[in-house]
């Protein structure tokens, strides 16, 4: 009888598993389990990616997230509708340019703040040779610059910064004012019979609003007055475009050259030279 081998039975060789492989297997198991519970959490338990590509993946995810947020915000804004009476306005669509006519009543351009409009005017920073239009900021300035003028015709332009037609015609009046200054300096010694023309501007703001409407009866903008040194207000016109502007300039030139003059005659009652139309009902 053979003797039993006293040596222990040899074991099969054991495979060596690296720790990284074990970690990947564990992560994969957790990822599979999470997919059955929640779709949103699958990305949180994704397998490990090499460090060289982690930054690129992170940037791609951030771009996709920001794009999604932008699209969601745009949809929310487009669905938001403001209701004002019977008028429904969608914020996503472009609003109409204006629901008010270009020559709207003067109340539409009322400025409620107390800021000085002249300080916000971009032309106030230009040299005087480029911007010669003086601004009337108060009723007292109107009296001293317009009503107390004894030698010149005075054009007063009433405007507002919120008025589209006012902004469109402003360059025409500024150019006209510069030309009149040059013309006055050149013809002062040659033609003394021609009246000089001063061009002023009275902006609509909180300080001048009631005076312009109640005292001067101006109801629309942009509006112009022409004052004669001996008569007072002789012409008034709504100047909204270049055609209106040219017509008004032609009228002012006629008054300045003497083609249009006040019709004076001797009044029987008062024995003074007065306008015929003022004494017509008595004479």
pLDDT exceeds cutoff 90 at 18: no
Give SS3 for 87: strand
Is residue 173 a contact partner of residue 246, using CB atoms and an 8 Å limit?
no
CATH fold for domain 106-278:
Glutaredoxin (3.40.30)
Let me know if 233 is exposed, middle or buried by CB neighbors in 10 A (0-12, 13-18, 19+). Answer: middle
CB atoms within 10 A of CB 201: 23
Give SS3 for 30: helix
Widest distance between CA atoms in the chain: 173
Closest CA to 155 of 248, 243, 42: 248
- State residue 34's pLDDT score: 54
pLDDT exceeds cutoff 90 at 279: no
pLDDT exceeds cutoff 50 at 185: yes
Q: In terms of pLDDT, which residue wins out, 42 or 50?
A: 50
Let me know if 185 is exposed, middle or buried by CB neighbors in 10 A (0-12, 13-18, 19+). Answer: exposed
The residue whose two tokens read 């001048």 is 208
Residue-by-residue DSSP string for 161-217? TT-HHHHHHHHHHHHHHHHHHHHHHHHTTT-SSSPEEEEEEEE-STTTHHIIIIIS-
Mean pLDDT over the full length of the chain: 67
- State residue 139's pLDDT score: 93
Is residue 136 a contact partner of residue 200, using CB atoms and an 8 Å limit?
yes
| pLDDT tens per residue across span 215-264 | 999 999 999 999 999 999 999 999 999 999 999 999 999 999 887 766 55
Q: Which residues contact 29 (CB under 8 A, 6 or more apart)?
A: none
Binned at pLDDT 50, 70 and 90, residue 128 comes out as: very low
Binned at pLDDT 50, 70 and 90, residue 189 comes out as: low
The token pair at 82 is: 């403001």
CA angle 180, 183, 187 (to 5 degrees): 140
Instruction: Give the Cα separation of 1 and 120 in Å (integer).
Output: 122
Instruction: Give the Cα separation of 178 and 133 in Å (integer).
Output: 8
Instruction: Give the Cα separation of 147 and 139 in Å (integer).
Output: 11
pLDDT exceeds cutoff 70 at 267: no
| pLDDT tens per residue across span 87-113 | 443 444 444 444 444 444 455 555 444
Which residues are paired to 264 by β-bridges?
275
Is residue 233 a contact partner of residue 225, using CB atoms and an 8 Å limit?
yes
Let me know if 50 is exposed, middle or buried by CB neighbors in 10 A (0-12, 13-18, 19+). Answer: exposed
Is residue 117 a contact partner of residue 160, using CB atoms and an 8 Å limit?
no
Could you tell me the pTM of the whole model? Answer: 0.51
Instruction: Give the Cα separation of 224 and 249 in Å (integer).
Output: 11
């Amino acid at each position: 009888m053979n003797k039993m081998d006293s040596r222990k039975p040899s074991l099969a060789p054991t495979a060596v598993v690296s720790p990284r492989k074990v970690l990947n297997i564990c992560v994969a198991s957790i990822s599979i389990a999470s997919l059955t519970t929640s779709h949103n959490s699958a990305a949180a338990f994704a397998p490990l990616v090499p460090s060289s590509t982690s930054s690129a993946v992170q940037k791609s995810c951030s771009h996709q997230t920001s794009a999604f947020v932008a699209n969601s915000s745009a949809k929310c804004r487009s669905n938001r509708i403001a209701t004002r009476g019977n008028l429904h306005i969608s914020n996503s669509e472009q609003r109409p340019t204006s629901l008010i006519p270009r020559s709207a009543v003067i109340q539409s351009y009322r400025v409620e703040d107390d800021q000085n409009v002249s300080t916000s005017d971009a032309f106030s920073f230009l040299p005087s040779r480029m911007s010669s239009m003086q601004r009337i900021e108060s009723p007292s300035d109107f009296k001293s610059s317009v009503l107390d003028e004894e030698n010149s015709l005075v054009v007063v332009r009433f405007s507002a910064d919120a008025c589209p037609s006012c902004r469109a015609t402003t360059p025409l009046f500024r150019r006209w004012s510069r030309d009149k200054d040059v013309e006055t300096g050149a013809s002062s010694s040659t033609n003394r019979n021609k009246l000089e023309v001063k061009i002023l501007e009275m902006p609509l703001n909180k300080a001048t609003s009631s005076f312009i409407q109640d005292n001067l009866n101006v109801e629309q903008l942009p509006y112009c007055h022409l004052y004669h040194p001996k008569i007072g207000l002789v012409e008034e016109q709504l100047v909204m475009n270049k055609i209106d502007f040219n017509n008004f300039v032609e009228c002012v030139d006629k008054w300045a050259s003497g083609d249009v003059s006040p019709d004076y005659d001797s009044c029987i009652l008062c024995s003074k030279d007065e306008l015929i139309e003022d004494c017509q009902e008595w004479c």
